[in-house]
Structure 1
């Protein structure tokens, strides 16, 4: 036990590197061997294998030069307290078993609800990630429609979203036996109420609309105000997927992009993305939690004695057992204060704007859109997808920077995601200017 705790204590303060170090299963088998045996290999050997073989075969998500996908940059306080959460081993599904821990989680959820401008009886729960959060919210929307519309329509249920919505939306629709109606976006990539209106008028199956509060690929925030107005006029639930971008609600310079979210019905944000918490943590909130409880509360002989008057996280999502995964965020917020979070998010936004300006002014790079949040999308004219891949692989292998190819408006491109306030924009600009001059990406 002490070996693991000592390693955790030391690793909490360690720097990381941005190398992409995934290895094949065959390589790992050769290096680690069979670790699960009848007699065990002992704590010392198991820790050595983790430290020297297994962990080096993973990617450092919190390195400042990891700018691929949506990385993570948890505070040291949050990382340290995640060990406390595991050691405490609190059952966080029901108030009866985890009252104190759930109380602390609820204070964080209240802070988020206040950022949304939601009423005092709004409520939520921490789930594992955005996929679970989106699935649970859309299940609530479907069940709410079934009760309020008098049953399932002849053609089944459907949800509406833009093609830029996260892939988990289509996955949730499959699991919920819902069709997906794609809504065209405007010239700047936004879902709007104007485009949504004729589809809702023509298709009574649509019971939910999903708006993006910061698309993963380009950081675009849909026109939430017009989407909410049109959707509610047609009796459709509005869910805002802010898994990545919802953290920008803390930043005064970006808050206006979320206008209208005050009237949305449900919302998610992943603190393990841009609110500086460790994996895995998604905050799911409901403006009115009663439809969620009606959709998700489980009933059984051994559960019927619990106090339904208290906050039971199991009632608000598709789960029963859960660890109190919101506590590392609570501890970090309690330690540093919400103003520190605002400063950190604003720093990421400023970094994105600075790097975007340098790309715009570059002789050999092209900025593809002005960043709305902290994702910068650009291209190197003259490079094809293979050139992007060669460049990306070389920088990753050398441990310089992680930046992987994507597609934007059907064409190969590159993107940088700034969610770590430790990123130095000048360092990123120096890498771009020093490595992208070659015409073939080599």
Structure 2
């Protein structure tokens, strides 16, 4: 199972050429794949018993498989939260996979482990958390939240059947899944109605904690969101941090999407208080422009991750060391290096480029809001915040139900059309259209043309 060096070099150059062409022609492609009812697992050829032509296999990969995927790096991919990657990070992933690098322990991976420690300290510093804060890179926000809550439970929870947690109705669905997976009673996760700004209300959280404590339950964690997926809203982090201290509960901040905005002046003001978190999750594969997968967990209390996840075995005795073992900071023993791509892209482009790219995303959402406000037939439902704006197409004489149906049809038609990819969410019980503008490749004209296309499709 090897190739002649020259054949490997030829195939490798061919893959790079295809990727370069992909980036060069990205804007001309549909951001979301056009549904193909004829495509299924049966479309994939059966596993051969003997060798086949590698060029034909690569043709199938690039021509049939990868064309049926969403392109989150596309300048008009505005759906949900995108992952606008950069090609330098792709090279780092290629290098790491090519060497088959192991980042679970120091003995077998001192190089990637040191890079991960450095990258974690960069992230810790940018978030304003104190020296001594520890962390680990994971696949993304879902596993990050699971990891953080598992450690918090070890530190703060007695009987899990009585533990209660508090989050907004707009918290990411990964929170409820982590809660259930960790063995907490699903009924004890208090999902509170958001305030008029779609944030977790501090006073209602305080009152619910007090009521639960009086009922003999064990309030344990407030889960705040720094950038909700639907609207980009930021919970009142400083106020919730004060409440958490007063109530002796853990403050976990889900900043998977919004936390990197702290690198900009506007984002720093909006995210004031994020540095007070007991644990924080953020996803570099979102607003730090990395390929999937890379998420980050930061933990204020040193040693807590190791106390939660450390493992041992006779087969590991030869790897014992006083240096960090990342296998002891999360649920993975076998793990590749997610740090290499973030390190390489930051090293090549510099932090200022990332700051400028984040600021550009904020400006694009504000541009979209201005354009919508200038044109008849649009209603702003939530103003631009953290590069997300929610809006609705309206028309005189239509009922609420008809307006709702119009907006759902409009967004679905836009995705099927192949020019642009907005998405929908539900606010106040009604569907709304939504743009998330975090891609630095997006031009002003992309935003303007998207709004014009939505007008055409709405009729």
TM-score by length of 2: 0.89
Counterpart for residue 47 of structure 1: 58
Equivalence map 1:247-262=2 (5 Å): 247-262=260-275
Counterpart for residue 5 of structure 2: none
Provide, for residues 34-90 of structure 1, a one-character-per-residue CA deviation record: whole Å limited to 9, x for no partner. Answer: 241222433222111111111111111110011111111112211222111111211
For these two proteins, the number of residue pairs brought into alignment is 434
Paired residues of 1:314 and 1:321 also in contact (CA < 8 A): yes
Provide, for residues 89-142 of structure 1, a one-character-per-residue CA deviation record: whole Å limited to 9, x for no partner. Answer: 111111221111111122221111112212221121111111100000001111
Counterpart for residue 364 of structure 1: 377
Q: Which moved more, 1:2-11 or 1:225-234?
A: 2-11
Counterpart for residue 379 of structure 1: 392
Task: Summarize the Cα distance change of 1:251–1:4 in structure 2 as closer, same or farther, 3 Å threshold.
Answer: farther
Alpha-carbon distance in structure 1 between the residues aligned to 2:177 and 2:380 = 32
Question: Is 2:255 aligned against 1:242?
Answer: yes
Task: Summarize the Cα distance change of 1:372–1:23 in structure 2 as closer, same or farther, 3 Å threshold.
Answer: closer
Alpha-carbon distance in structure 1 between the residues aligned to 2:63 and 2:9 = 18
Question: Is 2:189 aligned against 1:180?
Answer: yes
Counterpart for residue 3 of structure 2: none
Question: Is 2:211 aligned against 1:202?
Answer: yes
Alpha-carbon distance in structure 2 between the residues aligned to 1:195 and 1:291 = 30
Equivalence map 1:9-408=2 (5 Å): 9-13=16-20, 14-15=22-23, 16=26, 17-21=29-33, 23=35, 26-29=38-41, 32-146=43-157, 151-152=158-159, 155-178=161-184, 179-203=188-212, 204-304=217-317, 306-307=319-320, 309-382=322-395, 384-408=403-427
3-state SS of 1:38 partner: coil
Paired residues of 1:18 and 1:61 also in contact (CA < 8 A): no
* Match among 411, 430, 445 for residue 426 of structure 1: 445
Q: Which moved more, 1:14-23 or 1:247-256?
A: 14-23
Deviation at 1:399, TM superposition (A): 2.4
Deviation at 1:19, TM superposition (A): 3.8
3-state SS of 2:391 partner: strand
Paired residues of 2:31 and 2:74 also in contact (CA < 8 A): no
Alpha-carbon distance in structure 1 between the residues aligned to 2:211 and 2:405 = 44
Paired residues of 1:130 and 1:270 also in contact (CA < 8 A): yes
Task: Summarize the Cα distance change of 1:246–1:363 in structure 2 as closer, same or farther, 3 Å threshold.
Answer: same
Alpha-carbon distance in structure 1 between the residues aligned to 2:321 and 2:239 = 36
Alpha-carbon distance in structure 2 between the residues aligned to 1:186 and 1:60 = 34
Alpha-carbon distance in structure 1 between the residues aligned to 2:155 and 2:289 = 33
Question: Is 2:18 aligned against 1:5?
Answer: no
Alpha-carbon distance in structure 2 between the residues aligned to 1:11 and 1:360 = 41
Deviation at 1:236, TM superposition (A): 1.2
Provide, for residues 336-387 of structure 1, a one-character-per-residue CA deviation record: whole Å limited to 9, x for no partner. Answer: 1111111110011111111112212221111112222111111111463443
Paired residues of 1:85 and 1:324 also in contact (CA < 8 A): yes
Alpha-carbon distance in structure 2 between the residues aligned to 1:427 and 1:411 = 27
3-state SS of 1:206 partner: strand
Counterpart for residue 399 of structure 2: none
Alpha-carbon distance in structure 1 between the residues aligned to 2:51 and 2:44 = 13
Alpha-carbon distance in structure 2 between the residues aligned to 1:109 and 1:159 = 27
3-state SS of 1:303 partner: helix
Paired residues of 1:124 and 1:285 also in contact (CA < 8 A): yes
3-state SS of 1:105 partner: helix
Paired residues of 1:165 and 1:212 also in contact (CA < 8 A): yes
TM-score by length of 1: 0.93
Gaps of 5+ in 2: 1-7, 396-401
Deviation at 1:7, TM superposition (A): 3.7
Alpha-carbon distance in structure 2 between the residues aligned to 1:114 and 1:57 = 39
3-state SS of 1:57 partner: coil
Paired residues of 1:124 and 1:289 also in contact (CA < 8 A): no
Paired residues of 1:35 and 1:41 also in contact (CA < 8 A): no
Task: Summarize the Cα distance change of 1:44–1:169 in structure 2 as closer, same or farther, 3 Å threshold.
Answer: same
Task: Summarize the Cα distance change of 1:29–1:194 in structure 2 as closer, same or farther, 3 Å threshold.
Answer: closer
Gaps of 5+ in 1: none
Q: Which moved more, 1:208-217 or 1:404-413?
A: 404-413
